[in-house]
Structure 1
Amino acid sequence: MQQPMRSYWHILRQYIAPQRGTVLLMVVALLASVGLQLAGPNVVSRFLDAARAGAPQPLLVWMALTYVGIMALAKVCDVLVGYWAAQVAWTATNALREELTAHLLSLGPSFCKARLPGELIERVDGDVNGLAESFSSFWVNLVGNGLLLAGIVAVGFWKDVRIGLALLLFAAVAAAVLARVRRPAVAYVVRDREQSAALYGYLGEAMAASEDLRSQGAVPYALRRLFEHLRSWVPVRLQADLRRSAVWMTAVTLVVLGTAVAFGVGGALYQLGAISLGTVYLVIAYMGMMAGPIDMLRTELQKLQGAEAGIQRVRELLETRSVLVDGTVRLPAGPLAVEFRDVHFRYDDEAVTGQDEGPSVLQGVSFRLEPGRTLGLLGRTGSGKTTVVRLLFRFHDPQQGEVLLGGVNLRDARLESVRSAVGLVTQDVQIMEATLRDNITFFDPEVRDDRLLAVIDGLGFRQWVDRLPQGLDTPVSPATLSAGEAQLVALARVFLKNPGLVILDEATSRLDPATEALQLRAFERLLRGRTAIVVAHRLSTVERMDDILILEGGRVVEYGPRAVLAADPRSIFARYLRTWGRWSDEG
């Protein structure tokens, strides 16, 4: 309990502090609202006493209009408080969403692959939504209603000590009881959110695999999995709702008891002649007003349960650290030398823990590719080709050995420098629902059109862009671009970075021969003046490479100049040329 609340206060201070001006306006409006709410019943009390005493009608009308004006102004203040509170809350939590998203992206593919996309979406959006509700209403209502309760008790003491004591005792007992009832519910709310995240994670997985599920006749299996998730969630949700209901039932009971106390105390003091009829009304009205803040506190305490659960999950996410430690060295400009020195690597099933688990993928891989040369990387399925690519991008670090780019050990290099110096084109190109320009620049407004068009001209597909209805401003999506067109977008992205090392990871494996030929010509333009590694699916893809490296079982079994290996009938590459026109692989 204490740790989540400390985290809550830390997040509250961190993200609310930049909005001090709006918070100050909100506090002023809140204080005005509380004062006006306290003044209203006093006006009615005076009205009743004045009416019993035979006051003139103009005075009574004036008092009635005063009451109407006070209540109207109080509602205006309430609206302003709500508006400014929502503005502060959503500005703060949007900043938190941004930080969480950036943190997730910094954890790398190992962390994300260990969790379903829907689960991460629920963590970033669902948990933070609970905090947004807390920021926008809880503290406003807590402070506002706390001040209102304090004001009611103070007025009660001013009217009569016995009235003040009754109101104070009722408020203290109600607050203590509500706080006591609330505590056990937090653990159940945490479990409820976990079940929710698991369900959304499964739904995201099922939607992504919808074509496979339909084609394999596995829809009943998918629905059964959905039923299992729902069945496991129902008892958890029921327990959480039961604990929430306990708070509601307690609040209702307190309201009934408070009303009974008001009638009893007010009636008794009136019979004794200690207070007037107007004061009796004031006691009943204030006790009724106390029911509102107490009920509101009940609602906000329920939200705090969700906020505490969200804080725990957000804190766990922010405290998760990538095993990749950012270096300090920038990679040199221009074509980069690539060197592997006795690299051993195995994938970790729980990558973020740093434990070495799973079979070895690379076993003592060593080679050096000189700057400006091109390498064709070949091998059967599971030989380790894609792992080599991931290590060069520093998505992972080897358990043993060194990977160097431009003579710099990647462990010492700045991650930002590595991602800028290495360009990657894969067979799966991610196309956003946006314009062609935004898809190529990744929403960077600093990229000028003349530079963008120069890149497109350099790759030789200006005609394709000119044929689009709105040119670079044409909206595109995964459904509107063919596989070949998506590859053109990926090439332009890489060319725009101007990297020193270009990696093509089976980038043409899904293309027909004619489209592949066009892409290869674009590749040749892209690779000029750069070091390049081409992970090949077809031998035609590497026929213009300078060097060939062949992996088998995570080991280098052949490495050398392509022309030399092709001319040597005893080489593995020559055997490939003689016997295989193409083969299926996935490093």
Structure 2
Amino acid sequence: MVPASLKSHTNLLVEHLKAQKGSVILLAIFLFGDLGLRLISPQIIRQFIDVVSTSTLQTLTYIAILFILVSVLQQVLSVCVAYVSGNVTWVATNSLRNRLAQHCLYLDMNFHNSKTPGEMIERIDGDINALDNFFSQFVIQILGNVMLMLGIVILLFVEDWRAGAGLLGFAILGLLIALNLRRVAIVHMKANREASANMFSFLEECLAGSEDIRSNRAVPYVLRRFYELTRSRLTKEMKSGYMINILSTSSVLIGAMGNATALGIGAYLYQTSVFSIGAVYMLFHYINMLSSPIRRITDQIEDLQRASASIERVSDLLAIHPTLKLGRGDTLPKGAFAAVFRNVTFGYVADEPVLHDLNFVLQPGRVLGVLGRTGSGKTTLARLLLRLYDPWEGQVCVGEIDVRQADLSELRYRIAMVTQNVQLFQASIRDNLTLFDDRITDKRIYTVMDDLGLTDWLESLSDGLDKELAFDGGGVSAGEAQLLAFARVFLLQKPDMVILDEASSRLDPATEQHLENAVERLIDKRTVIVIAHRLATVQRVDDIMILDEGRIVEYGPREKLEADVTSRFANLLRSDLEDVLV
């Protein structure tokens, strides 16, 4: 596998650091000041050593105070570099997290159906965590240490060309060794990240389904599978660690080479009276300083291996594009609009259609009840209207506008869907209604709740809007969750078409009455599609559609079908509708 290219690294850095130009410039100022003071310190010590036997105590004291001041200032600048670089890192990595999350939200449902929550968490958060050092330290350490090396080499060339040449040769050799190790570990690091994602993905699924796992006696299988995944991760972790150890060992060897070089050159120049004792110390100090940049560069290369694996995975994710192409952006008609299916065939898996050649027109302002057994294609109708998928064949139109040509944002603003499985968060009722939008006031919430006839229900809850829900909506029933979903629709959207997938679970009388009131308000002056599970709702609709294996087997006005004793709908009523629609 080809390692992540330098160009991809550079592009990622530039893209997410250019918005922080001021902070980056400030960081550069602190960095250059820190480097300058680090180069001055050995010169001060050299001066102290050379004059210690000939100068007065006052002179030596001044030199010592100067050294202390330079050292303190250098430490202050180092702290400033660490602080500013930390802020730059958090802003950059959070920006990348936001970009990845937004990118994934716009990808097709086929992508999300193929990924587990655990895997997505690892891709969006775990991989970005691995880039922390890349953003905060890589450029600083590489650029700073290269500049430090150049400064040391120039200063030593000024002292004596032989000292400069020897140190330059050591620096080039050390860098060549470090840079040639750059490609060693990328494949193993990426494999380790993949193994980690697989393990956490499986763990997330197990935690979410712990009740079913225990009740179905699947614990031994889960443990065996978890063992296999952890074993795989251990193997890949050991391989990547082995490669990293090679890099670490190389930095130690480079340091030893530096010490040997310094001692050899220093001894020679001292014996030939070119260098004083202070100059020899300066040479040894500088070459040790040079070993440090090489070691740090090597360390950054190790981190680059980790970052490269994550950058490849991030780049692979960003390279995935939605197959749903944006159309012309046609504007939908004002008010309630029609829903039209023309020869629509669609399925989720190739050669396995769910809907077969569907044709029907739902007139504006009409309420359609869709009936059929599980798997007959009822929910698929809603997904096509919201353009979560495009049909294989035919057209899906709203107000005579093909949804593929409609403005997608307006389409999903004007068509609202309330599902059985309402997504609730571990947060307050208020935050679940507004989806954490602080701009929506309590007054607005109560207005909407009053419009839906839900004020009494809201006030009956302990703590009202401040009531905290547990994980996955714990604390409210399925019917109450749908009440929240109704209110959420009218807080966040202005729908002219509503698709309602009713809760099929048994409801307590109070919640059922609130639900009836909400549905009554919901369907007023709107085009409505109800995936019905209850007799009360079917009696409210204008038209009935019965689906069977993705085909329309009956469609027409409810009253007419109900009066026709030979119709399928009349037969469903006689045989108890609720028993055949699950």
* TM-score, reference length from structure 2: 0.96
- Counterpart of 2:488 in structure 1 is 493
Aligned equivalents of 1:585 and 1:45: distance in 2?
A: 91
1:514 positional shift: 5.4
- Counterpart of 1:370 in structure 2 is 363
Structure 1 unaligned regions, length at least 5: 349-356
2:403 pairs with one of 410, 428, 438: 410
Aligned equivalents of 2:463 and 2:484: distance in 1?
A: 16
State the one-letter code of the partner of 1:158: V
State the one-letter code of the partner of 1:494: V
Aligned equivalents of 2:378 and 2:5: distance in 1?
A: 44
Aligned equivalents of 1:31 and 1:412: distance in 2?
A: 55
- Counterpart of 2:345 in structure 1 is 344
1:468 positional shift: 4.0
Contact 2:4 2:308 in 1 (8 A): no
Aligned equivalents of 2:517 and 2:564: distance in 1?
A: 28
- Mapped pair 1:128 → 2:123: no
1:3 positional shift: 5.6
- Counterpart of 1:353 in structure 2 is none
- Counterpart of 2:82 in structure 1 is 82
- Counterpart of 1:351 in structure 2 is none
1:572 pairs with one of 568, 572, 577: 568
Structure 1 counterpart SS, 2:578 = coil
* TM-score, reference length from structure 1: 0.95
After TM superposition, the structure 1 = structure 2 runs for residues 510-525 of structure 1, keeping only pairs within 5 Å, are: 511-512=507-508, 515-525=511-521
- Counterpart of 1:31 in structure 2 is 32
- Judged with a 3 Å threshold, the aligned counterparts in structure 2 of structure 1 residues 585 and 99 are, in CA distance, closer, same or farther, namely farther
Aligned equivalents of 2:509 and 2:324: distance in 1?
A: 40
- Judged with a 3 Å threshold, the aligned counterparts in structure 2 of structure 1 residues 510 and 503 are, in CA distance, closer, same or farther, namely farther
C-alpha deviations, 1:460-487, integer Å up to 9, x for none?
Answer: 1212322445433443342222323222
State the one-letter code of the partner of 1:406: G
C-alpha deviations, 1:215-261, integer Å up to 9, x for none?
Answer: 11212211111111112222221111111111101110111111111
- Counterpart of 1:187 in structure 2 is 187
- Counterpart of 1:484 in structure 2 is 479
Structure 2 unaligned regions, length at least 5: none
- Counterpart of 1:48 in structure 2 is 49
Aligned equivalents of 1:168 and 1:471: distance in 2?
A: 73
1:2 positional shift: 7.3
- Counterpart of 2:229 in structure 1 is 229
After TM superposition, the structure 1 = structure 2 runs for residues 224-373 of structure 1, keeping only pairs within 5 Å, are: 224-327=224-327, 328-348=329-349, 357-373=350-366
Aligned equivalents of 2:385 and 2:153: distance in 1?
A: 69
1:585 positional shift: 5.2
Aligned equivalents of 1:163 and 1:555: distance in 2?
A: 87
Aligned equivalents of 2:245 and 2:99: distance in 1?
A: 34
Structure 2 counterpart SS, 1:511 = coil
- Judged with a 3 Å threshold, the aligned counterparts in structure 2 of structure 1 residues 584 and 3 are, in CA distance, closer, same or farther, namely farther
Aligned equivalents of 2:536 and 2:177: distance in 1?
A: 77
Aligned equivalents of 2:509 and 2:356: distance in 1?
A: 35
Aligned equivalents of 2:257 and 2:16: distance in 1?
A: 40
State the one-letter code of the partner of 1:404: C
Instruction: Calculate percent identity across the aligned residue pairs.
Output: 42
Tell me which moved more, 199-208 or 575-584: 575-584
- Counterpart of 1:549 in structure 2 is 545
State the one-letter code of the partner of 1:15: H
| Two-structure CA RMSD over aligned residues (Å) | 1.6
State the one-letter code of the partner of 1:96: L
- Counterpart of 1:354 in structure 2 is none
Structure 2 counterpart SS, 1:582 = helix
State the one-letter code of the partner of 2:515: Q
Contact 1:382 1:585 in 2 (8 A): no
1:69 positional shift: 1.3
After TM superposition, the structure 1 = structure 2 runs for residues 411-560 of structure 1, keeping only pairs within 5 Å, are: 411-477=404-470, 478-496=473-491, 497-509=493-505, 511-512=507-508, 515-560=511-556
After TM superposition, the structure 1 = structure 2 runs for residues 153-172 of structure 1, keeping only pairs within 5 Å, are: 153-172=153-172
- Mapped pair 1:94 → 2:94: yes
Aligned equivalents of 1:94 and 1:259: distance in 2?
A: 42
Tell me which moved more, 385-394 or 468-477: 468-477
Tell me which moved more, 512-521 or 529-538: 512-521
State the one-letter code of the partner of 1:70: V
1:193 positional shift: 1.0
1:515 positional shift: 2.9
Contact 2:338 2:361 in 1 (8 A): yes
Contact 1:372 1:532 in 2 (8 A): yes
C-alpha deviations, 1:358-400, integer Å up to 9, x for none?
Answer: 5110001111111111111011121111111111111101000
Aligned equivalents of 1:509 and 1:406: distance in 2?
A: 34
State the one-letter code of the partner of 1:181: L
Tell me which moved more, 539-548 or 70-79: 539-548
Contact 2:346 2:391 in 1 (8 A): yes
1:31 positional shift: 0.6
Contact 2:185 2:305 in 1 (8 A): yes
Structure 1 counterpart SS, 2:130 = helix
- Judged with a 3 Å threshold, the aligned counterparts in structure 2 of structure 1 residues 271 and 584 are, in CA distance, closer, same or farther, namely farther
- Counterpart of 1:110 in structure 2 is 110
Contact 2:3 2:187 in 1 (8 A): no
1:512 positional shift: 4.3
